[in-house]
Amino acid sequence: MNNIRKYTLLIFTLISISVAAQLNLNINITYPAPSYLSDWAYTKSGVATLVLNQENQLLKIKFQTQLQTLDGTPVATSNNANAATYSIRTGANVFSLDKLLQLENLQFTDGNIIRSIQTSGKLPAGNYQLCIQVLGSIAGTTREIEMLKVPVCRPFTQAGYQLPNLLTPLDKTWLDAATAKSVITFRWSSIVPRTQEHVTYRLQVYEVKDDQLPMQALRSNMPILNTDVVNTQYIWRPQLDFSGQEGYVFIWTIQTLDSKGNPVSTADGLNLGWSEPQVFGVCNKTKGENPEEACGNGRKLE
């Protein structure tokens, strides 16, 4: 009886090794990976191809998933009991990456990552790797085995962006009221690195009252200009009354939004896509006077 068990185990092992040797998995992930994990369902995110080389075969398989940092530290692992089962046939079987990722079936262990996914649907910016093992069963059995000799791991990057720098009006400079009442040109740099996804820049300008500091105005006042721009320049025609002699002070900033209208991801996840604000003034000066000198006895640019 013991010999029969040994031979049965040996035959089962040889069958397992044979099946494993006939299965190949290739994973292609775009760089950088889509910001939203839900977007991994689209082919632009990449695809996975599972090739079964045995003839006239139909196998039932599951994906065993693990997300890791590049040093191999796990940050999420799939629950095999709840993993979806797929049928694969001889030849190439193509899967969208969400089938491998199993977002709804991943058990995360890192608190910061859990909060990021719950609030934004994104992994924090950084470098990761997706590791996949294929689980299957031999025909006539119910025991799951690992169908690949080793898991297939592919690195991917969740990009973190540097927000635009505000260029003009220059910080803490005065504009001539005669020109400013007709046109004020705002310019800023684009986000870095450039993204293939569509981004929108939300330009906001606030007037700073006499009794306010600029940041107080930014946090409490309603913007006098609030507009979305698809490039990095906006020409504003304010048609405001700049006849006062002491000058007018404004603070402005840009919020960078992704294709879904949400703030782009940065190393500081708390700034919600807002660039560092800057202050400028509008001075009603007489001809020939330097605007900084003409307004220096009135409002100050702080």
Per-residue pLDDT of the chain (302 residues; tens, 9 = 90+): 455 444 333 333 334 444 444 889 999 998 888 888 999 999 888 999 999 988 777 888 999 999 999 999 999 999 999 999 999 999 999 999 999 999 999 999 988 888 888 888 888 888 999 999 999 876 666 678 899 999 999 999 988 888 999 999 999 999 988 899 899 999 999 998 877 678 999 999 999 998 899 999 999 999 999 999 999 999 999 988 888 777 899 999 999 999 889 888 777 666 789 999 999 999 876 655 555 555 655 677 87
CB 250 within 8 A of CB 206: yes
pLDDT at 183: 95
Strand 58-69 with 74-78, pairing: antiparallel
Q: What is the C-alpha separation between 189 and 164, in angstroms, rounded?
A: 5
Query: 292 in helix, strand or coil?
Result: helix
Q: How many CB atoms lie within 10 A of CB 107?
A: 10
Q: What confidence tens digit (pLDDT) does each residue in 50-87 have?
A: 999 887 778 889 999 999 999 999 999 999 999 999 99
Strand 23-29 with 46-52, pairing: antiparallel
CB 60 within 8 A of CB 136: yes
Compute, in degrees rounded to 10, the torsion defined by CA atoms 291, 239, 212, 287: 10
Percent of the chain whose predicted confidence (pLDDT) is above 90? 53
Cα torsion 71, 151, 64, 103: sign: positive
What is the reported pTM? 0.73
Please name the amino acid found at residue 179: T
